[in-house]
Amino acid sequence: MARMAGTAALAESLLQVAVVSTTSVAGGDICTTTRLRLTDGRSAVIKTRPQAPAHFFTTEADGLRRLRAAGGVAVPEVLAADDDCIILDWIEPTKPSTDLAEAFGRALATTHASGAGGFGADQDGYIGLAPLPNRPLPTWEEFYASRRVMPYVKAAVDRDSLSLEQAAIIERAMRKLPSLTADPEPPALLHGDLWSGNLVWSADGVHLVDPAAHGGHRETDLAMLALFGAPHLQRILDAYAEAAPLQDGWVERVPLHQLHPLLVHAVMFGGAYGPRAAAAAQSLLDGKP
């Protein structure tokens, strides 16, 4: 009860609106999420974490605003953010449907097509609690190898989540990267952590939350979405491809784009994620994804 009172007081200080009630929201193991009912009739959601990393919530807010401005997939409005929390407009969830999935696929294509200034972002960020280097590089291949894969290979080895032999397989795949990719495309605005837990299905469409927004390759978001599955995934992918056709062979490149999230999970959770990342890299080297 004391924690809830503290959360309400924090929200009131930022919103300058009194909180009528608070309710815990299930899901997520990084932050505490609480629904707020406000005296002006609105509902909001506040995410908090004691001793959060520097700029953790403000970086999330910047990413949400950037995605919202793209005019594609819906994104909740950021009501406030500081070093202690982020407060968003409440999105009432509903059951996933094929119609919502189709609309989401098309909207995601619009988000990606809104473009980015380059491969990377103006500031480093986070994926989960893991640091996410974003300093731009001229090509996607350079950016992906140097900012997305190799830093996490090193971190996974340091945490004994990846053997030296497995790391060497991934390094060989990165050296072969130019031959593994499609024809160059302009930087797409990515969500950057697009798994099903970061989709809120509502009656007025799917909303994106918890981004790691940056300029990258659009196939990366699709591969991340496929990594852990999502409701009506095939309809999402089909609708996306109808709106923005993908280059030939994109399915065969899915393991390439899944290397980063697999390595992030290897760093954060260990287990089988390191070997899975090495297997994905080996499949690319073998030409048998």
Active-site positions read 193
12 phi and psi, to 5 degrees? Answer: -65, -35
Q: What are the CB-based long-range contacts (under 8 Å, 24+) for 52-59?
A: 52/83, 52/84, 53/126, 53/129, 53/131, 54/83, 55/83, 55/123, 56/83, 56/126, 57/81, 57/82, 57/83, 57/84, 57/85, 57/86, 58/82, 58/83, 58/86, 59/123, 59/125, 59/126
Virtual torsion, Cα 111, 115, 119, 120, nearest 10 deg: -60
